[in-house]
C-alpha cells in the first residue's frame, strides 16, 4: 500500500460516517435514542449493547464509535425505516465508512471479496472508490477495441495512461480486486451501464439507426422475393389470419392499419415496379404482412445480410443449385 494511502483526513471520514448515520436516523422518523437503545438490548444477535447515551454520541458525531456499536445501531435503524431497509445491505454500506475513520482512504475501499458480493455501490447517488476504479479499469476508455467486438469509438485517454492507472489500482488494492472489476465490466456491469448491456451498445441514436437499417434491409428483401414470388403477399396475409401465435397488440395494430381503405388498396396492388410510388405507410403494412421480425445477429460494422436475420411469415424456399 502506498505511503499516502491513509492521507484521507480522519475528520472528513468521520463526518461522512456521521452524515450517513443521521440520514438513516431520519429515515426511521427520528426514532428516540432510548428507543434505539431498547431495541438493541432486546436482541441477542447483535455484537454490542448500546446505551441511549452511546446512541446519541454516535449519531451526533461526538465520538468515534467502535464497529460493534455502529453495526448494532445500523441493524436496528434499518429495520425501523419507512420503507424498511435490508439490514445486511446497510451494514455492508457502513463498514467502509467506519473503516475510513480508522485507516484513512485505504479503509474506504472494499476488499476483493466484498466487491464481488456487493458490486460498485453508489446506490445512494454518491461516488464510491470502486466506481472511480471501474471508470479507470474499463479498457473501452483507452483502447480502440476491434469493431467486431464493440462500437467504433475514440479513446479518451492514452493506452500508456490507462496501463499506469490500472497498475496503481493493482498496487493499492491487489490483483484480485482489479481482475474482478475487469470481469464485471466485460460482462456488461460497468459504471454508467444499464443492467445487462454490453459496453458501448446501449445508445438511443445507435438503436434508432439500427432500426432504420433493419427496415430498409427488410424492404429490399421483400422486393427481391416479390419479384420471384408474385403471390407472396396474399399468402402472407392468409398466414396472419391463421397464425394463433401472433400477439393481440400486433393483430390490433394491423387491423387498425387495414381500416384505412385507401392504404389497404395501395398495399394490395403494390408490385416491385410500383413500390417506390406508394406511401411509406404502405411499405410498413407490407413489411408487417411479410415479416414476423428481424433479429440483430451481428455488430454494426457488418453488412446487412450478415447483421440481420429475417423471420418470414412464409419461409423462403431453399435455393436450388
The closest of 134, 124, 135, 57 to 97, measured between CA atoms, is 124
What are the domain boundaries of the chain? 1-108, 109-199, 204-312
Question: How many angstroms separate the CA atoms of 44 and 297, rounded?
Answer: 56
Question: How many angstroms separate the CA atoms of 23 and 20, rounded?
Answer: 5
Confidence of residue 320 (pLDDT cuts 50, 70, 90): low
pLDDT of residue 69: 94
Q: Does residue 295 sit in helix, strand or coil?
A: strand
pLDDT of residue 198: 42
pLDDT tens-digit series, residues 27-65: 999 999 999 999 999 998 998 889 999 999 999 999 889
pLDDT of residue 201: 42
Confidence of residue 288 (pLDDT cuts 50, 70, 90): very high
| DSSP collapsed to 3 states, 210-275 | HHHHHHHHHHHHHHHHHHHCCCHHHHHHHHHHHCCCCCHHHHHHHHHHHCCHHHHHHHHHCCCCCH
The closest of 239, 263, 233 to 251, measured between CA atoms, is 239
* Continuous H helices in the chain: 10-27, 33-41, 52-60, 67-80, 87-103, 105-108, 112-118, 129-137, 159-173, 175-186, 204-228, 232-242, 248-258, 261-269, 280-290, 304-307
Give the residue, 303 or 22, on which the prediction is more confident: 22
| Average confidence (pLDDT) over 219-240 | 93
Q: End-to-end alpha-carbon separation of the chain, Å?
A: 69
Question: How many angstroms separate the CA atoms of 156 and 170, rounded?
Answer: 21
Q: What percent of the chain has pLDDT over 90?
A: 38
pLDDT of residue 319: 66
User: What's the mean pLDDT when you consider all of the chain?
Assistant: 83
Using the 8-state DSSP alphabet, how is residue 150 labeled?
Answer: S
pLDDT of residue 210: 76
- 4 to 75, 161, 172, 258, 278: CA distances (angstroms): 33, 21, 10, 72, 72
- In the predicted structure, residue 121 carries a pLDDT above the cut 60: yes
Using the 8-state DSSP alphabet, how is residue 313 labeled?
Answer: S
Question: How many angstroms separate the CA atoms of 237 and 243, rounded?
Answer: 10
Give the residue, 244 or 51, on which the prediction is more confident: 51
pLDDT of residue 3: 36
- In the predicted structure, residue 232 carries a pLDDT above the cut 80: yes
pLDDT of residue 1: 37
Amino acid at each position: 500500500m502506498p505511503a499516502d494511502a491513509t492521507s484521507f483526513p480522519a475528520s472528513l471520514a468521520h463526518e461522512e460516517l456521521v452524515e450517513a448515520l443521521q440520514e438513516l436516523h431520519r429515515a426511521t422518523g427520528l426514532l428516540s435514542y432510548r428507543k434505539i437503545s431498547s431495541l438493541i438490548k432486546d436482541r441477542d444477535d447483535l455484537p454490542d449493547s448500546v446505551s441511549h447515551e452511546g446512541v446519541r454520541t454516535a449519531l451526533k458525531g461526538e465520538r468515534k464509535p467502535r464497529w460493534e456499536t455502529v453495526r448494532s445501531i445500523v441493524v436496528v435503524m434499518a429495520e425501523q425505516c419507512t420503507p424498511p431497509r435490508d439490514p445486511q445491505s446497510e451494514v455492508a454500506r457502513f463498514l467502509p465508512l467506519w473503516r475510513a475513520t480508522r485507516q484513512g482512504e485505504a479503509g474506504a475501499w472494499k476488499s476483493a471479496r466484498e466487491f464481488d458480493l456487493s458490486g460498485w455501490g453508489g446506490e445512494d447517488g454518491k461516488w464510491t472508490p470502486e466506481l472511480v476504479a471501474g471508470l479507470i479499469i474499463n479498457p473501452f476508455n483507452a483502447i480502440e477495441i476491434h469493431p467486431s467486438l464493440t462500437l467504433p469509438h475514440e479513446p479518451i485517454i492514452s493506452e500508456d495512461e490507462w496501463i499506469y492507472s490500472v497498475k496503481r489500482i493493482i498496487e493499492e488494492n491487489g490483483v484480485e480486486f482489479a481482475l474482478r472489476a475487469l470481469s464485471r465490466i466485460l460482462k456488461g456491469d460497468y459504471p454508467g451501464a444499464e443492467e445487462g448491456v454490453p459496453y458501448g451498445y446501449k445508445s438511443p441514436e445507435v438503436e434508432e439507426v439500427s432500426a432504420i437499417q433493419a427496415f430498409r434491409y427488410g424492404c429490399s428483401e421483400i422486393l427481391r422475393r416479390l419479384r420471384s414470388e408474385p403471390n407472396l403477399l396474399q399468402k402472407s396475409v392468409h398466414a396472419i389470419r391463421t397464425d394463433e401465435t401472433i400477439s393481440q397488440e400486433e393483430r390490433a395494430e394491423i387491423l387498425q392499419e387495414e381500416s384505412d381503405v385507401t392504404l389497404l388498396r395501395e398495399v394490395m396492388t403494390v408490385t416491385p415496379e410500383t413500390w417506390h410510388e406508394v406511401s411509406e405507410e404502405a411499405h410498413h403494412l407490407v413489411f408487417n404482412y411479410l415479416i414476423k421480425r428481424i433479429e440483430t445477429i451481428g455488430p454494426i460494422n457488418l453488412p446487412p445480410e450478415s447483421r440481420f436475420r429475417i423471420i418470414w411469415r412464409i419461409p423462403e424456399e431453399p435455393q436450388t443449385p
